[in-house]
Amino acid sequence: MRSGRRIGGRAGPRLARAAIGGALFALALLVGRARAGEPDARAAEPPLELAGTWHVLIHYRDASSANPGAWHWDEKIWVFEPGEGELRWTEYPIVLFSDDSGRFESLGSARQSRVLHAWEPNAGQRAQIRSGLEVNSRGRNSKRLRGSDAEGWRSGDRLVQSASQLVSYVEDWSVEGLPAAPVFTQRDLMGASEEDSLEGVTRYATAEIRAGGDELRGGFTRDESRSGRFEMRRSGPVKPLGERSQEEIRRRLGVPQP
């Protein structure tokens, strides 16, 4: 009669632990395989839809200013309108809120100036952005860009020599990196030709897309002097200035009331 081999001493617990470890490893492997089939949370985000109206808030430091360490703020409204093989980009540099809390301070003589800090909209101001802001057509600029999302969009403006003009000025705007990480560039040229000109470049490079594609954040640069960050929030349609808003602009600029 053949006797069975007895497992004694410490061998029994060691084998038991090994069996448990093997079972846990197999379970982890199965879970890992199951998760591999799940879509990534970031991939589930809807693709960025650039068309529409956006409020652009910029925080920057100016190395060429008397106080290079101070934060400044600026803002714009951008409107993107796609067409057949083109993209219309319109910019409004003068924006009106019904609540100017944290935005302006009085300089006397009925004139106002932007507060010197990195202003962020409060809850009420964010709600107004979502519903749509009033804009002034003064300073409005619009460019028709050609191209595609894959190859990028560009207005393609160039300096052209003219017998009647010794010096010309043009702006070349472009949008690249859609839809994952769009980069918005505004290039200013002034001179007699491309080879003999002064150039200024403003660049907004997206680093993060939030809120299902309704908010963009990234880095801001203007030439070699200004650098900082920008926040771009989807907004309601622009609205024409009411009489109160026109009075507000005159008050900011110190213009006498009619």
Residue 200 within a domain:
yes
Residue 216 within a domain:
yes
- Token pair in block for residue 92: 């409004």
Q: Determine contact, residues 85/123, Cβ cutoff 8 Å.
A: no
Give dist(CA 239, CA 95) in Å, integer: 10
Over the stretch 14-50, which tens digit does the pLDDT of each residue have? 444 444 454 444 444 444 444 444 444 344 556 799 9
Residue 4 within a domain:
no
Handedness of CA 91, 207, 50, 249 (dihedral sign): negative
Query: Domain count of the chain?
Result: 1
| Positions in the chain short of pLDDT 70 | 1-46, 108-111, 160-165, 192-196, 243-258
Following DSSP, what letter does each residue of 38-76 receive, concatenated?
SPPTTTTSPPP---EEEEEEEEEEETTSS-TTSEEEEEE
Residue 16 within a domain:
no
Q: Residue 220: name the closest of 105, 76, 79 by CA.
A: 76
Residue 170 within a domain:
yes
Over the stretch 199-230, which tens digit does the pLDDT of each residue have? 899 999 999 999 999 999 999 999 989 999 99
Residue 215 within a domain:
yes
Residue 182 within a domain:
yes
Residue 41 within a domain:
no
R_g over Cα of the chain? 29
**pTM, 2 dp:** 0.76
Domain that holds residue 56: 52-253
